[in-house]
């Protein structure tokens, strides 16, 4: 089984992927570690990333985790985009000491459904979105496991357009 877990930074990808990999006995592949190991710059060159991930074509059982998983097509049976309400995401990213620009970029990406849109464009199919805002990692893992078991085509319906309108309104005042 080949699973991709992507989403904006702070949505719970790392902890959920780690727990899910343990539960399903799958190898966990962390894109951040590959980027670091291969010396790909912080402004990631997607072509270099795709090249660094070519080894996945020879593997059948893994979970790939990282926000950049939406940028390059990887072999996948399931693609999950984790989503988190912008207010909760903002608190999480502030705890990580994100600078103002990086914080705003990631909040905007979340409100614009960036990862979901990119998955649809890059992979040519709709991902399963999971709202992690008010769920424990364990509950999220269980929902992903059940979605796979039941071969679900849809999980949560996430739309932050109202939050985006409010955000833009406040920025323009």
* Extents of the domains making up the chain: 2-171
The mean pLDDT of 121-125, rounded to a whole number, is: 96
71 vs 49: CA distance, rounded Å = 9
Q: Is the domain defined by 2-171 classed in CATH 3.40.50.300?
A: yes
Place 72 in a pLDDT band, splitting at 50, 70 and 90. Answer: very high
Residue of higher predicted confidence among 111 and 43: 111
The percentage of residues in the chain with a pLDDT greater than 90, rounded to a whole number, is 76
- Write down the pLDDT at residue 35: 87
Place 153 in a pLDDT band, splitting at 50, 70 and 90. Answer: confident
The mean pLDDT of 84-99, rounded to a whole number, is: 95
Contact of 49 with 40, CB cutoff 8 Å: yes
- Write down the pLDDT at residue 167: 81
Q: List, in sequence order, every residue forming a beta bridge with 4; answer none if it has no partner.
A: 64, 79
119 vs 123: CA distance, rounded Å = 5
Contact of 137 with 82, CB cutoff 8 Å: no
The mean pLDDT of 149-160, rounded to a whole number, is: 90
Across the chain, where does the E strand assignment appear?
2-7, 27-30, 62-65, 78-83, 128-131
pTM above 0.85, yes or no: yes
């Amino acid at each position: 089984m080949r699973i991709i877990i992507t989403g904006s930074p702070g949505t719970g990808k790392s902890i959920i992927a780690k727990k899910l990999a343990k539960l399903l006995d799958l190898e966990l592949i962390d894109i951040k570690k590959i980027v670091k190991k291969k010396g790909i710059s912080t402004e990631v060159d997607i072509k270099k990333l795709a090249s660094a991930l070519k080894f996945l074509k020879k593997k059948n059982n893994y979970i790939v985790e990282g926000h950049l998983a939406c940028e390059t097509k990887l072999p996948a049976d399931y693609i999950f985009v984790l989503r988190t309400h912008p207010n909760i995401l903002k608190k999480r990213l502030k705890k990580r000491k994100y600078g103002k620009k990086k914080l705003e970029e990631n909040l905007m990406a979340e409100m614009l459904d960036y990862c979901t849109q990119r998955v649809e464009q890059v992979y040519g199919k709709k991902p399963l979105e999971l709202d992690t805002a008010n769920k424990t990692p364990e509950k999220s893992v269980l929902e992903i496991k059940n979605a796979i078991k039941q071969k679900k085509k849809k999980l949560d319906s996430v739309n932050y357009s109202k939050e985006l309108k409010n955000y833009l309104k406040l920025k323009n005042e």
